């Protein structure tokens, strides 16, 4: 299957995603899977610039195998992909005198500064899971002015189109996992819940940037009514 690129530019939605054609209505109780930011720059396996502890080849293989198994069982699989321009606001290198993990204020919002990562077109921006499994890949963080942890919207409020994609495929429940628990997984899961989906996060298929923020993220997700499970029963 060849991917078809679609861009939302109307009704306040700005985003780019790739839909694998043809789309097929599958069973599995209208449950979708969102694989969050499984990209080289976030893994120790690929010596990523923003590698999260525990994301070695064994972890990536576990995610790949689980995703393939879910697809075989008829679940619709979706993905998010960090896809930053080189001049992105979140890169410490773009702020004179600042270093990675500094926290600054920009236009009355808090911005964590990161190492340069997932730059558009670079090898470590690629998704490590078989792209043929995906019904759609939603790219985020394309606007240089705003960070975008969530697969649903960026920090400026621009929508990615994920809600429309899921609803068009009649998805009611979503399973979320990937990198990182305390940032993009949490933001994606919370926005999915806010959009009216029933959300399950698979803790065993996630890793976080730091233990304290990861523990806090799990508490925040549970407080939103998001179900946290260690593993999936396949």
Which top CATH class is 3-84+119-229?
A: alpha beta
Q: What is the pTM for the complete model shown?
A: 0.88
Rounded to 10 deg, the angle between the 186-194 and 211-223 helix axes is 10
d(CA 133, CA 52): 24
- Annotated catalytic residue, options 37, 147, 173, 182: 37
- Annotated catalytic residue, options 41, 46, 173, 184: 184
d(CA 161, CA 21): 17
pLDDT number for residue 137: 98
Q: Which residues of the chain have pLDDT under 50?
A: 1-14, 20-27
DSSP structure string for 183-196 = IIIHHHHHHHHHTT
pLDDT number for residue 18: 53
pLDDT number for residue 233: 85
Q: Is-catalytic flag, 184? A: yes
pLDDT number for residue 234: 78
Domain residue spans of the chain: 3-84+119-229
Q: Is-catalytic flag, 2? A: no
pLDDT number for residue 27: 41
Classify strands 31-36 and 173-179 as parallel, antiparallel or unpaired. parallel
- Annotated catalytic residue, options 140, 147, 173, 186: 140
């Amino acid at each position: 299957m060849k991917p078809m690129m679609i861009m939302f530019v109307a009704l306040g939605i700005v985003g780019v995603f790739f839909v694998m054609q043809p789309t097929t209505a599958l069973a599995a109780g209208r449950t979708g899977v969102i694989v969050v930011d499984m990209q080289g720059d976030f893994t120790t396996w690929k010596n990523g610039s923003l590698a999260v502890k525990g994301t070695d080849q064994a972890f990536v293989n576990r995610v790949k195998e689980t995703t393939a198994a879910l697809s075989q069982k008829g679940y619709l699989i979706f993905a998010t992909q960090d896809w930053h321009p080189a001049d992105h606001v979140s890169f410490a290198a773009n702020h004179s005198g600042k270093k990675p993990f500094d926290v600054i204020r920009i236009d009355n919002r808090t911005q964590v500064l990161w190492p340069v990562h997932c730059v558009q077109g670079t090898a470590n921006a690629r998704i490590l899971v078989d792209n043929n499994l995906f019904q759609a890949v939603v790219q985020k963080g394309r606007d240089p002015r705003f960070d975008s942890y969530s697969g649903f919207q960026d920090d400026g409020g621009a929508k990615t189109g994920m809600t429309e994609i899921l609803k068009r495929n009649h998805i009611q429940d979503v399973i979320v996992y990937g990198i990182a628990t305390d940032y993009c997984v949490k933001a994606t899961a919370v926005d999915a819940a806010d959009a009216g989906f029933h959300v399950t996060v698979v803790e065993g298929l996630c890793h976080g940037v730091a233990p304290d923020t990861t523990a806090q993220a799990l508490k925040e997700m549970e407080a939103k009514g998001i179900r946290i499970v260690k593993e999936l029963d396949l």
